[in-house]
Amino acid sequence: MFLVLGILQFSLVLWVKTTLIDAAGAGAHAVAVVGAPESAAETTVRGALASTIGERYVTGVSVSRIPVASVSNKFSSSEVEVVEVKIEAPIPILGLFGAGSLSSVGHAMVEVGP
């Protein structure tokens, strides 16, 4: 019985981790759109988790922009940036109740407007 419950709990941890990765990616894509504010990441993350884990399960959402490279040609040059959204949530130990910290990261390339 304990083996079956352990396997179920481990499966729940993997499902939560996968769901958080998906939500982090969705938040990064929401911020990467031209003119989108960084607050769109938290709104998108919590909206993506509302129907699965619950929007209050996440304890923190942070957004940062990372310069990756500089691209230039004979007409112009520009910087290439990536948006990184990091989500912090508890590790589910017993059901969805947990302790510790589980972090997931999503990335998206920033769009450049005309």
In the chain, domain spans = 1-109
Q: Do 20 and 91 meet the contact criterion of CB atoms below 8 Å apart?
A: no
pLDDT value at residue 97: 82
Residue 77 has pLDDT above 80, yes or no: no
The two tokens of residue 35 are: 């003119």
Residue 113 has pLDDT above 80, yes or no: no
Helix (H, G, I), strand (E, B) or coil at 95: coil
Mean pLDDT, to the nearest integer, of 61-80? Answer: 84
Statement: residue 66 has pLDDT above 80:
yes
Q: How far apart are CA 104 and CA 26, in angstroms?
A: 12
pLDDT above 90 covers a percentage of the chain that reads 58
Which long-range CB contacts under 8 A does 42-49 form with residues at least 24 apart? 45/85, 45/87, 48/22, 48/23, 49/19, 49/20, 49/23
CA angle (95, 98, 100) in 5-degree steps = 150
* pLDDT tens by residue, 22-59: 999 999 999 999 888 989 999 999 999 998 998 888 99
pLDDT confidence of residue 8: 94
Burial of 64 (0-12, 13-18, 19+ CB in 10 A): exposed
